Structure 1
Amino acid sequence: MTLSVLDLAPIVSGGGAGDALRNTIDLARRAEEFGYRRYWVAEHHFAPGVASSAPAVLIGLLAAATDTIRVGSGAVQLGHQTPLSVVEQFGLVDALYPGRVDLGIGRSGQRRAELAKSAEPAGNAEPVKDAAVGQQPARVVDGLLIPPPFDWSLLAQHPHLVHYATLLQQPGAQTPDFAGQIDDVLAFLKGTHEAHAVPGEGADVQVWILGSSGGQSAQVAGERGLPFAANYHVSPSSVLEAVEAYREAFKPSDALAEPYVIVSADVVVAEEEARARELAKGYGLWVRSIRTGAGAMPYPTPEEADRHVWTEADRQLVKDRIDTRFVGSPRQVADGLRVLRRVTGADELLVTTITHDHDDRVRSFELLAEAWDRP
């Protein structure tokens, strides 16, 4: 199947981290039954509603609980760790479950530090209320909505973000250039580095680069001949730019003879569209909590979401994310994802789903898998 899963191990209102992690393990098992190709987990910090803060640890648990599905990271934030530590962690999992591990790497750690360093402290902890989408109009490209870009620079001024950036590294630590770090990762895995990573050296780990724009991540992935994951579900405005930059920079390598792209998407599926939209109600409030600097909140119930009084600033803050979700019946969502695949030229799609009830989330993935297999 050309569908895979991205999971944040969401903590829901009324639940805890243990519940979230047990649900993630259960969903991975079910995704394997449904035929999904790979199961990736994210790396998030300081989020009351996300339990996936240590992807290598969680991937080891998922590998132990499944048999055939590939497991990996979407993505390790390399700005917070050294290439050696990352290779050792993933090499350890590969030593026990060889040939099933994807090492997805993101530059988000570096980007967060850069934004925080350049931002002037706001002097208070008030939510950022006007980090709305930019002035560019939304456009539709061959059936795919491309919304205006979100202005992350305003969110970077939030004092929480500035403070958090200092907690993810040792005092005085300097993050090397991303390209150099990727070269070190590859060298450790191949055994061509002057030092040896044990476990890790010679591991059958597939390295991926994840990116949200046509910047350094896409360039590095293309120039090193690595597979690339483009981010439509968080940064839909720049997905086409990211894919194009990767393909233009691509050079064949031992890993790939030609470009390989996976594109992410937010999805909620139910038997009927009305039911899917009811299940998806908490999403806007959840995104708002992220974009106001509070960190992802425990995922609300539809009833809790209904009680929120929305301002126009709130709506603009989350509009790009709301408008680019794929929510509906199995046929509707499958058709929408086929448009995403066609317009981006994706070889594979990476779908993420959050609902308050775990059974609804499992059912969403099941219905999508069934619809995707049908012409």
Structure 2
Amino acid sequence: MTIPLSVLDLSPIPEGSTPAQALRNTLDLARNAEEWGYARYWVAEHHFAAVASSSPATLIGLIAAATNRIRVGSAAVQLGHHTPISVVESFGTVDALYPGRVDLGIGRSGQKRAEALAAGPAPIREARVVDGLLVPAPVSLAAALRATRLAATVSAVQFPGSKPPAFAGALDDVLALLSGTFSYKDIPLEATPGTGADLQVWLFGSSGGESAQLAGKLGLPFAANYHVSPATTLDAVDAYRNAFVPSQRLAEPYIVVSADAVVADDDETARELASTFSTWVHSIRSGHGAIEYPKSAPALTDDEAVLVADRVETQFVGSAATVVAQLETLARVTGANELVVTGMTHDHEDRKRSFQLLAKEWGLPALRVN
């Protein structure tokens, strides 16, 4: 049986466009994704970048209002940038109006950067192919992590002098607020809206570290980011499965794996549509922050290309049949219960067409295919 497909949207701002148009594009894609049979529509959280998905709770509320059935959620709220009560109240507000449709995806942010800087360079590993799936060599992000601009953006989303709380403790507070067991200095407190909300809580991770292990220990569903860190995705899913303890939420592990894909009527057209992807990824990996998605761009230098090689090599680009074969390999090797697909093109209609072709080839239970 074909596993579900979902959409991950960063609300990219195409070169020459505006944030308002990017948000309109997101709502348009969400309405169509629902009709084409996608299971979920997730939005990311990014700040000080040329993407319009800076406020996930606000955006998923707008998407929920514009759709009827598809689940909507965050991929992921960066818990280091928000207090647990603000997260639960904002998502609880959306759930109050659209009950049973909201996914609260949670990830780390400032905590992760600080740990990476303290840990130093990752162990050197060679690229390998596992049962047909490319697992590229890790790329060093040390320069990006130390970039002055990145440090400024991390500091700017926090109160002066503050530091991100321990991730496990903040997550415990979120779960306690949702269940109605939260207290502060032995004083019971309830989130309104929020306590008792029918939210599905997810953890997101790029490695076999804390997020994967916590998701398993707490019996939560887990999303592994092949589209962000393809070198460590198998580590992440293995760590999650090894740590998994059945809970009231899940009797068995449940894994979603992400992929970056561009689909067109033929392989050549798809490659043309994806031709500026490396430039866009380099803007992120260099510590600058995502630029407006370029329509055209000069070739990267050799040094620049090395920085984004893992992302470019693991982007699935081609006709629907080509990309479906690659996604099936990803699902088989990771044992994913579901895949979530993101994809960038400069033109919104090309991006819509990409998701439409993929849905049809995958065999989603579409309400409308044309």
Question: What TM-score does the superposition give when structure 2 sets the normalisation length?
Answer: 0.94
* CA–CA separation in structure 2 for the residues paired with 1:162 and 1:119: 17
2:349 to 349, 359, 362: 359
Residue identity matched to 1:4:
S
* CA–CA separation in structure 2 for the residues paired with 1:160 and 1:289: 12
* CA–CA separation in structure 2 for the residues paired with 1:209 and 1:134: 25
Q: Residue 42 in 1 paired to residue 44 in 2?
A: yes
Counterpart secondary structure, 1:60: helix
User: What per-residue deviation string (whole Å, max 9, x for no partner) do you get for residues 71-113 of structure 1?
Assistant: 0000000001111110000000000000000000001232134
* CA–CA separation in structure 2 for the residues paired with 1:287 and 1:221: 28
Equivalent residues in 2 for 1:258-273, closer than 5 Å: 258-273=252-267
Counterpart secondary structure, 1:63: helix
1:241 to 235, 244, 260: 235
Give the match for residue 30 of structure 2.
28
* CA–CA separation in structure 1 for the residues paired with 2:15 and 2:182: 46
Q: Residue 336 in 1 paired to residue 338 in 2?
A: no
User: What per-residue deviation string (whole Å, max 9, x for no partner) do you get for residues 148-178 of structure 1?
Assistant: 1122222111111122221111012232211
* CA–CA separation in structure 2 for the residues paired with 1:215 and 1:134: 14
* CA–CA separation in structure 2 for the residues paired with 1:115 and 1:345: 28
Residue identity matched to 2:159:
Q
Say how many residue pairs are matched. Answer: 357
User: What per-residue deviation string (whole Å, max 9, x for no partner) do you get for residues 27-54 of structure 1?
Assistant: 000000000000000000111x211101
Alpha-carbon distance change, 277 to 134 in structure 1, aligned in 2, over 3 angstroms: farther
Q: Residue 227 in 1 paired to residue 201 in 2?
A: no
* CA–CA separation in structure 2 for the residues paired with 1:134 and 1:13: 37
Counterpart secondary structure, 1:299: coil
Give the match for residue 146 of structure 2.
157
Does the 8 Å CA contact 2:140/2:307 hold for their aligned counterparts?
Answer: no
- Structure 2 unaligned residues grouped into runs of 5+: 184-188, 365-370
Name segments (4+ residues, structure 1) moved above 3 Å.
Answer: 113-116
* CA–CA separation in structure 1 for the residues paired with 2:154 and 2:268: 41
Q: Residue 73 in 1 paired to residue 74 in 2?
A: yes
- Structure 1 unaligned residues grouped into runs of 5+: 121-130
Displacement after TM superposition at 1:359 (Å): 0.5
Q: Residue 204 in 1 paired to residue 204 in 2?
A: no
Give the match for residue 317 of structure 1.
307
Does the 8 Å CA contact 1:44/1:53 hold for their aligned counterparts?
Answer: yes
Residue identity matched to 1:244:
D
Give the match for residue 86 of structure 1.
87
Alpha-carbon distance change, 119 to 293 in structure 1, aligned in 2, over 3 angstroms: farther
Give the match for residue 123 of structure 1.
none
User: What per-residue deviation string (whole Å, max 9, x for no partner) do you get for residues 301-357 of structure 1?
Assistant: 1xx22xx14211011111100000110010110010000000000000000011001
Alpha-carbon distance change, 101 to 135 in structure 1, aligned in 2, over 3 angstroms: same
Give the match for residue 5 of structure 1.
7
Displacement after TM superposition at 1:115 (Å): 4.7
Displacement after TM superposition at 1:193 (Å): 1.0
1:283 to 265, 277, 281: 277
Counterpart secondary structure, 1:339: helix
Q: Residue 300 in 1 paired to residue 314 in 2?
A: no
Give the match for residue 372 of structure 1.
362
Displacement after TM superposition at 1:114 (Å): 4.3
Counterpart secondary structure, 2:293: coil
Give the match for residue 56 of structure 2.
55
* CA–CA separation in structure 2 for the residues paired with 1:19 and 1:269: 22
* CA–CA separation in structure 1 for the residues paired with 2:246 and 2:196: 21
Alpha-carbon distance change, 21 to 359 in structure 1, aligned in 2, over 3 angstroms: same
1:347 to 317, 337, 349: 337
* CA–CA separation in structure 2 for the residues paired with 1:27 and 1:37: 13
Residue identity matched to 1:17:
P
Alpha-carbon distance change, 12 to 156 in structure 1, aligned in 2, over 3 angstroms: same
Does the 8 Å CA contact 1:119/1:157 hold for their aligned counterparts?
Answer: no
* CA–CA separation in structure 2 for the residues paired with 1:239 and 1:119: 19
* CA–CA separation in structure 2 for the residues paired with 1:218 and 1:274: 37
* CA–CA separation in structure 2 for the residues paired with 1:246 and 1:101: 23
User: What per-residue deviation string (whole Å, max 9, x for no partner) do you get for residues 286-312 of structure 1?
Assistant: 0011111111110011xx22xx14211
Does the 8 Å CA contact 2:81/2:109 hold for their aligned counterparts?
Answer: no
Displacement after TM superposition at 1:4 (Å): 0.2
* CA–CA separation in structure 2 for the residues paired with 1:154 and 1:331: 38
Aligned-residue Cα RMSD (Å) equals: 1.6
Residue identity matched to 2:246:
P
Displacement after TM superposition at 1:66 (Å): 0.3
* CA–CA separation in structure 2 for the residues paired with 1:162 and 1:10: 22
Residue identity matched to 1:368:
L
Give the match for residue 127 of structure 1.
none
Displacement after TM superposition at 1:358 (Å): 0.5
Give the match for residue 249 of structure 2.
255
Does the 8 Å CA contact 2:64/2:72 hold for their aligned counterparts?
Answer: yes
* CA–CA separation in structure 2 for the residues paired with 1:363 and 1:162: 37
